[in-house]
Amino acid sequence: MSAFGGYSGQAYSPAGDKGRFVLPAAFRKAVKESSDGNRILCLAAHDRFDCLVGFGLSRKAQLHDQLDREEERATRLGKTDFDREVRAQQLFGFEQMPFDDSGRFVMPEHLRDLGKVGEGLYFQGAGDFFFVWNPEELARMGPEWKGAQASCAKLVAAAKKGGA
């Protein structure tokens, strides 16, 4: 098995029946590599944007390191408002869900609500994780998202054309 190289690229997946979604092939492979060969997808609400973030199990170690760094920085800067427990629940409040060989998984209802999930999911690689957007929510973002917005619009249009 090759070493996990991070998440990159873009993909769109329309919503399926029975609340199922499909993790696109490129992301499926990376998640499996990041989860020691297991088909386990981790999803959480993004802490600033109306979307979700996805990753494999190996990210847990990075999150522990991130929490330690944030606490150390807050202490060094004399910030008394840092709450390790609150930040820990933000970082580790993700759901782990299995996906089948075709990438199908069932998203919990609360994640659908938090991510404002609609008729499909746009996946955007971001290195250690990937964004999972409702295309309508992504379209509302500012100009710093123009590359993702353009890619998403093209992928959604192609899916609609192919599905018509």
Q: Which residue has the tokens 């991070």?
A: 6
Q: What is the pLDDT of residues 42-98, one digit of tens each?
A: 999 998 999 999 999 988 888 889 899 999 999 999 998 999 999 898 888 899 999
- Strand 52-55, strand 130-133: pairing: antiparallel
- Strand 40-45, strand 20-22: pairing: unpaired
Pairwise CA distance, residues 65 & 100, whole Å: 30
> Could you say which DSSP state residue 47 is in?
S
Specify the pTM: 0.86
In this prediction, residues 115-144 reach a mean pLDDT of: 95
3-state DSSP helix/strand/coil % of the chain, to nearest 5? 45, 25, 35
Q: Name the nearest CA neighbour of 107 among 38, 45, 36, 28.
A: 45
State whether the Cα torsion 105-111-114-116 is positive or negative: positive
Please give the pLDDT value at position 22.
Answer: 94
Please give the pLDDT value at position 59.
Answer: 87
Whether residue 10 contacts residue 123, with contact meaning beta carbons closer than 8 Å, is answered with yes
CATH number, span 10-163: 3.40.1550.20
Whether residue 31 contacts residue 128, with contact meaning beta carbons closer than 8 Å, is answered with no
Question: pLDDT class for 38, splitting at 50, 70, 90?
Answer: very high
Tokens representing residue 25 in the block:
């092939």
Residue 9 has pLDDT above 60, yes or no: yes
How many angstroms separate the Cα of 40 from the Cα of each of 80, 94, 132, 134? 37, 12, 16, 22
Please give the pLDDT value at position 1.
Answer: 44
Domain ranges of the chain: 10-163
Percent of the chain whose pLDDT exceeds 90 = 74
Whether residue 99 contacts residue 35, with contact meaning beta carbons closer than 8 Å, is answered with no
